[in-house]
């Protein structure tokens, strides 16, 4: 699986490899937490993103996160809701999906979406924008940090598996918490920085 993939005009991942990140000036490292695994029937509940300049050291520019108010929480998978920590009380200050997507598009416009095992997050972003009738606002390529981790860390004995929490822990990265979107976006960003240091 290539780390950098080309996207269709509406943002769907394609099998095509993007050879380079030339011409782009920023990465938008994102994480989403959802009410289940199916982008057609489940909903985004939490979004987080870290915008970084695509220059040496990937300096952070801005970050943002928000809980998103579900419209069909009855469709949610109990296991997924438990992982996210969903409750009506905890989500009292959540924002509507259209406001969340508009803010995400504003912050990450033309940036390369970057994430950990990014396929599912991408599917939910594509579906959310489609439902809202919004055009794809990000770069036409996406970057998967998990794939980079596999290429850099496989065979080193440093990690036993390639889930985000384990890799972050083994690389000595302190985390803000687990299964909060902004915390996981920061963990992904920090892992990427460590991986780039190793490759240097």
Q: Looking at residue 94, which CATH number applies to its domain?
A: 3.30.420.10
Q: 154: buried, middle or exposed (CB in 10 Å: 19+, 13-18, 0-12)?
A: exposed
* pLDDT above 80 (res 22): no
Average pLDDT, the chain: 93
Residue 200: its pLDDT value, please?
Answer: 66
Number of H helices, E strands in the chain: 6, 7
Mean pLDDT within 25-30: 97
The pTM of the full predicted model, rounded to 2 decimals, is 0.94
Mean pLDDT within 97-118: 97
* pLDDT above 80 (res 158): yes
Of 129, 142, 159, nearest in space to 28 by CA:
142
Strand 141-144, strand 112-115: pairing: parallel
List the beta strands (DSSP E) in the chain: 4-7, 13-17, 26-34, 44-53, 60-67, 112-115, 141-144
Residue 176: pLDDT band with limits 50, 70, 90: low
Neighbours of 41 (CB within 10 A): 13
Running DSSP on this structure, what letter comes out for residue 57?
Answer: T
* pLDDT above 80 (res 47): yes
* pLDDT above 90 (res 125): yes
Mean pLDDT within 163-173: 91
Residue 179: its pLDDT value, please?
Answer: 66
Mean pLDDT within 142-150: 95
* Three-state secondary structure readout of 105-160: HHHHCCCEEEECCCHHHHHHHHHHHHHHCCCCCCCCEEEEHHHHHHHHHCCCCCCC
Could you list the residue range(s) of the whole structural domain that residue 168 is in?
4-199
Task: Name the domain count of the chain.
Answer: 1
Strand 26-34, strand 112-115: pairing: parallel
pLDDT in tens, 101-110: 999 999 999 9
Mean pLDDT within 22-26: 88
Residue 93: pLDDT band with limits 50, 70, 90: very high
């Amino acid at each position: 699986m290539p780390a950098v993939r080309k996207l269709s005009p509406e943002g769907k991942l394609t099998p095509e490899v993007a050879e380079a990140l030339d011409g782009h000036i920023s990465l938008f490292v994102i994480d989403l937490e959802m009410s289940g695994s199916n982008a057609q029937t489940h909903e985004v509940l939490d979004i987080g993103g870290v915008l970084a300049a695509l220059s040496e050291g990937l300096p952070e520019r801005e970050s943002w996160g928000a809980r998103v108010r579900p419209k069909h929480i009855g469709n949610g998978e109990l296991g997924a809701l438990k992982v996210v920590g969903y409750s009506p009380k905890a989500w009292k200050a959540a924002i509507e999906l259209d406001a969340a997507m508009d803010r995400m598009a504003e912050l990450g416009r033309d940036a390369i979406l970057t994430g950990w095992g990014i396929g599912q997050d991408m599917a939910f972003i594509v579906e959310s924008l489609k439902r809202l009738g919004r055009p794809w606002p990000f770069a036409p390529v996406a970057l998967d940090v998990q794939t980079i981790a596999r290429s850099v860390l496989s065979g080193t004995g440093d990690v036993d598996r390639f889930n985000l929490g384990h890799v972050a822990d083994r690389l000595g990265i302190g985390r803000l918490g687990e299964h909060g979107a902004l915390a996981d976006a920061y963990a992904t960003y920090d892992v990427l920085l460590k991986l780039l240091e190793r490759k240097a």
